[in-house]
Structure 1
């Protein structure tokens, strides 16, 4: 029997691969034997040094032609793609819906939603049977979150796209799943304006902390590996128990209100 969760010689494209969850995933995939192609708007060469190998293609996932070129270059070099991780994402600030502009929505949708659409559309012509696509959604994609309307909407859309793609690509034995984390300890999570969100999560999450990028990368690895050949069309929460109900500290705080 081979090594569990081996990605030996599998070709993996990771968008948003130069930082945060994407970088942690690239490191893990590289250690598991995969051939890594990371795509991001910058910091690529430095990321490759941290990973220990791979290729970098500068890419803005909101621009379809750039994603198409990324997949074409990968296909020409390696012949096929086995894994796509749609990890590139943004959050354009914290604002009530009444103060959010259409531009706020379009920026979030351009990267978070259309980046996923572009990735799926242009990777699958190069993807062989048994391939895997993992999309990074959010707990904000399965519930409402105050002051994050544009981000929430874009992540709900990712889950709908994930389920639709799983149906459409099932005949080719290409699996498509999504991961729904709470806040993750990355630069985006610590952007200005998110302090209240973090305070709420540290109280409401039973484990009383936010996630580490390595913990999200572990589930991505699980879903991308051929060992998990019957997990398809799912949106899996990685939330420290947040979706299970009120934590004891949160319950105690509210009971005293």
Structure 2
């Protein structure tokens, strides 16, 4: 019997692949048989080589840099079967009225345009049956106080995902998005994010934030040929957060 979700012979490009969700995804896809191209701003040559793949220094906010990434991946391995747009940032824990244009520009350049550039420059090298997975956020499915620039940049990713799924379906290239809540990564633990983590630990029905490996598992699922009819979808990886508040949070509010 063939191993389910086997990625033997596949080439996967992972942006933001040097840490957090991206690094966990690179490890998982490599363990499933894929050749991985790890892309990011900090050097991860040793990490990529340990996985049997390659590292390409990339700034996803720079279209030329992303175009170069995809060309190098193609030159090295002849194709790109899987693209994981994982690079992401968050700047500014402020109310909408306190947010500056620079906060919006910073988030959109990486979170939104990085996805656009990735799709635009990877698809010319993608054979029939390719898969693109965009890492959005549960914040892209609802409003979140103090995170307006980040929220809006992630909502945009979902619109791009659905549009790309329609346009690339004729080439049999699937495009899907995942929407995690906070994940135990350096980005989530950055200064200013402590209230968000405390809130989620109370409001998420499972009572905790996600681990990078749990998010990588969903990316693996969407990347695999086994899921060849899943297209244009948004999948929450949120412990039930978007289903409603936890019973503990409900009882806390009801008693206050």
Q: Provide the TM-score with structure 2 as the length reference.
A: 0.98
- 8 A Cα contact 2:36 2:48, kept in partner: no
Instruction: Output aligned runs, 1:14-29, within 5 Å.
Output: 14-29=14-29
Superposition pairs of residues 110-125 of structure 1, within 5 angstroms? 110-125=109-124
Computed over aligned residues only, the root mean square deviation of the Cα atoms, in angstroms, reads 0.9
2:96 is aligned with 1:97: yes
Q: Distance in 2 between matches of 1:53 and 1:189?
A: 29
Aligned twin of 2:254: 255
Q: TM-score, normalised by structure 1?
A: 0.98
2:153 maps to which residue? 154
- Deviation sequence 1:25-57 (CA, Å, 0-9, x none): 0000111110110100003124326x5321000
**TM-superposition CA deviations, 1:144-190 (whole Å, max 9, x none):** 00000000000000000000000000011100000000000000000
- In 2, distance between residues paired with 1:77 and 1:24? 22
Aligned to 2:22, what secondary structure does the other structure show? helix
Are the equivalent residues in 2 in contact too, given 1:134–1:224 (CA < 8 A)?
yes
Identify the range of structure 1 (211-220 vs 70-79) with the bigger mean alpha-carbon deviation. 70-79
Match of 2:53 in 1: 54
1:144 is aligned to 143
Contact 1:19 1:47 in 2 (8 A): no
Query: 4+ residue runs of structure 1 moved beyond 4 angstroms?
Result: none
The answer for the alignment partner of 1:129 in structure 2 is 128
Q: Is the 8 A contact 2:36 2:51 kept in 1?
A: no
SS at match of 1:166: helix
Report the equivalent of 1:44.
44
Provide the secondary structure at the position in 1 that maps to 2:130. Answer: strand
What secondary structure does 2:4 align onto? coil
Unpaired runs of 5+ residues, structure 1, are none
- Partner Cα separation in structure 2 for residue 77 and residue 96 of structure 1: 45
Instruction: Judge conservation of contact 2:43–2:57 (CA < 8 Å) in 1.
Output: no
Secondary structure at 1:71 match in 2: helix
CA distance in 2, matches of 1:169, 1:56: 27
Counterparts of 1:256 and 1:159 in 2: how far apart (Å)? 37
User: How many corresponding residue pairs?
Assistant: 256
Q: Distance in 2 between matches of 1:106 and 1:11?
A: 32
Q: Deviations over 1:48-88 (max 9, x none)?
A: 26x53210000000000000011111111211110000000
Q: Classify the secondary structure of the residue corresponding to 1:3.
A: coil
Cα distance per residue 1:127-147 (max 9 Å; x no partner): 000000000000000100000
**Paired residue secondary structure (1:246):** coil
Partner of 1:30: 30
